């Protein structure tokens, strides 16, 4: 497949702070590629370098064949870029905002009217064409922002945490539009810290403290962690969680209402393992089943391993 984005050892420093440390990525045409990580991981810095907004300190990258350092302006002309704080003109109507951004993105005047109409229909905004943008709800503003970002039909769309602060229904509708764009050939690279959104991407890159931890499909990333997960209902959930949390072979214990979700590693039979662990402390299990490990389990496992490695490093140097 054709790589629309490719980076090699891409890095960015701000003084002594290393925001991005040697990231190498390849994004194929037509993919929905997610960059996942906690706040401060380097996601937004990475996307700004790819958009030509920020120069890398070292390393290299190309976007649609253009060098991100030398050809920044040519990249900006050809991409769509939407952030969680996308600038809409609140005193303009929905249609007026679209016409304004069509001009910004140099859509030919002869095409603007038809492009605005088709975008209104595609995004479900046709019935709100005359409504002032400032009176829209958060979900509708997000939809308008996406429409403005794609009015020029870019082959590549960058989304920087676009659904932050948006209600679940609006997020779901937003993702339907993203998949429609991808099915029409648009490549989408988005940053997120929502695990359910990560599951919707074709492939993911996990970034933590500026470093790339893993790249692959959600299924590949989960499989590489070799986690097995159980969910159980117990009488003394807090006590059970503590008993399990300190047991060798347990990666994570999380409360879900009255249930516990336990991620294990290198455990042949996680159901028997859990029964034995709680029997040792006299806790009765009301129900127990094995569940599918997901992206959140994998992400927590990776971050935990990185934190443990970082904590062990000073002790190793001291010895």
Tokens matching residue 225:
């962690």
Task: Say what the pTM is.
Answer: 0.90
List Cβ neighbours of 20 (8 Å cut-off, separation of 6 or more). 10, 11, 12, 42, 45, 46, 49, 56, 210
pLDDT digits (tens, 9 = 90+) for 194-248: 888 999 999 999 999 999 999 999 999 999 999 999 999 998 999 999 999 989 9
Domain total of the chain = 2
75 and 155 inside one domain: yes
Residue of 305, 283, 295, 309 whose CA lies nearest to 229:
295
164 and 294 inside one domain: no
DSSP string, 225-264: HTEEEEEEEESSHHHHHHHHHTSTTEEEEEEETTEEEEEE
82 and 157 inside one domain: yes
270 and 205 inside one domain: no
Please give the share of the chain, as a percent, with pLDDT higher than 90: 82
Tell me whether strands 156-160 and 79-83 are parallel, antiparallel or unpaired: parallel
For the four alpha carbons of 166, 79, 53 and 109, in that order, the dihedral sign comes to: negative
148 and 179 inside one domain: yes
Range of the domain at 268: 222-318
DSSP string, 31-69: -EEEEE--TTSSHHHHHHHHTTSS--SEEEEEETTEETT
Cα 194 to Cα 85: distance, rounded to the nearest angstrom: 17
At residue 265, the pLDDT reads: 93
| Average predicted confidence (pLDDT) for the chain | 93
For the four alpha carbons of 105, 108, 112 and 118, in that order, the dihedral sign comes to: negative
Judged against a pLDDT cut of 60, whether residue 316 lies above it is answered with no
Judged against a pLDDT cut of 80, whether residue 260 lies above it is answered with yes
List Cβ neighbours of 149 (8 Å cut-off, separation of 6 or more). 80, 81, 82, 86, 101, 157
At residue 1, the pLDDT reads: 67
Which phi and psi angles does 206 have, rounded to 5°?
A: -95, 125
Spatial contact of 64 and 186, defined as CB atoms under 8 Å apart: no
Q: Which of the four pLDDT bands, split at 50, 70 and 90, describes residue 9?
A: very high
Residue of 29, 74, 32 whose CA lies nearest to 51:
74
Give the domain-ending residue among 188, 216, 244: 216
136 and 36 inside one domain: yes
153 and 33 inside one domain: yes
Q: Which of the four pLDDT bands, split at 50, 70 and 90, describes residue 319?
A: low
98 and 243 inside one domain: no
Spatial contact of 217 and 203, defined as CB atoms under 8 Å apart: yes
277 and 159 inside one domain: no
Q: Which of the four pLDDT bands, split at 50, 70 and 90, describes residue 152?
A: very high
201 and 231 inside one domain: no
What CATH number has the domain bearing residue 262? Answer: 3.30.70.100
At residue 257, the pLDDT reads: 86
Give the domain-ending residue among 201, 216, 231: 216
What CATH number has the domain bearing residue 188? Answer: 3.40.50.300
Judged against a pLDDT cut of 90, whether residue 309 lies above it is answered with no
List Cβ neighbours of 293 (8 Å cut-off, separation of 6 or more). 222, 225, 227, 228, 229, 263
Spatial contact of 114 and 146, defined as CB atoms under 8 Å apart: no
37 and 94 inside one domain: yes
Give the domain-ending residue among 172, 195, 216: 216
At residue 313, the pLDDT reads: 62
State the alpha helices, DSSP H only, in the chain. 43-50, 72-78, 94-104, 109-122, 138-149, 168-183, 195-198, 218-225, 237-245, 270-279, 295-318
Q: Which of the four pLDDT bands, split at 50, 70 and 90, describes residue 111?
A: very high
Q: Mean pLDDT over residues 180-194, rounded? A: 93
At residue 310, the pLDDT reads: 72
pLDDT digits (tens, 9 = 90+) for 16-66: 999 999 999 999 999 999 999 988 899 999 999 999 999 999 999 999 999
List Cβ neighbours of 49 (8 Å cut-off, separation of 6 or more). 10, 12, 20, 55, 56, 61, 68
Q: Using the 8-state DSSP alphabet, how is residue 93 labeled?
A: B
247 and 98 inside one domain: no
Cα 319 to Cα 215: distance, rounded to the nearest angstrom: 34
Judged against a pLDDT cut of 90, whether residue 164 lies above it is answered with no
Say what angle helices 218-225 and 295-318 make with each other, to 10 degrees.
50
């Amino acid at each position: 497949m054709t790589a629309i984005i490719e980076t090699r050892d891409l890095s960015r420093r701000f003084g002594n702070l290393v925001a991005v440390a040697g990231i190498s990525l390849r994004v194929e045409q037509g993919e929905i590629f997610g960059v996942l990580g906690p706040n401060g991981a380097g996601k937004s810095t990475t996307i700004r370098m790819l958009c030509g907004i920020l120069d890398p300190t070292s390393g290299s990258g190309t976007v649609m064949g253009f060098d991100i350092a030398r050809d920044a302006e040519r990249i900006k002309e050809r991409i769509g870029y939407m952030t969680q704080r996308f600038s809409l003109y609140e005193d303009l109507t929905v249609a007026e905002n679209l016409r304004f951004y069509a001009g910004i993105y140099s859509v030919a005047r002869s095409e603007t009217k038809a492009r605005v109409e088709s975008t209104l229909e595609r995004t479900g905004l046709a019935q709100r064409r005359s409504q002032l943008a400032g009176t829209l709800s958060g979900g509708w503003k997000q939809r308008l922002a996406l429409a403005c970002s794609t009015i020029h039909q870019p082959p590549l769309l960058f989304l920087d945490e676009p659904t932050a602060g948006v209600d679940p229904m609006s997020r779901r509708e937003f993702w339907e539009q993203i998949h429609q764009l991808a099915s029409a050939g648009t490549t989408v690279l988005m940053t997120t810290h929502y695990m359910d959104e990560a599951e919707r991407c074709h492939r993911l890159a996990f970034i933590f403290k500026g470093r790339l931890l893993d790249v692959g499909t959600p299924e590949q990333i989960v499989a590489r962690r070799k986690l097995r997960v159980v969910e159980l209902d117990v009488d003394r959930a807090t006590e059970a969680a503590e008993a399990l949390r300190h047991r060798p072979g347990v990666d994570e214990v999380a409360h879900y209402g009255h249930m516990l979700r336990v991620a294990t590693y290198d455990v042949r039979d996680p159901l028997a393992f859990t029964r034995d662990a709680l029997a040792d402390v006299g806790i009765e299990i009301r129900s127990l089943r094995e569940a599918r490990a997901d992206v959140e389990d994998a992400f927590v496992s990776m971050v935990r391993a990185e934190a443990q490695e970082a904590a062990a490093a000073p002790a190793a140097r001291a010895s």
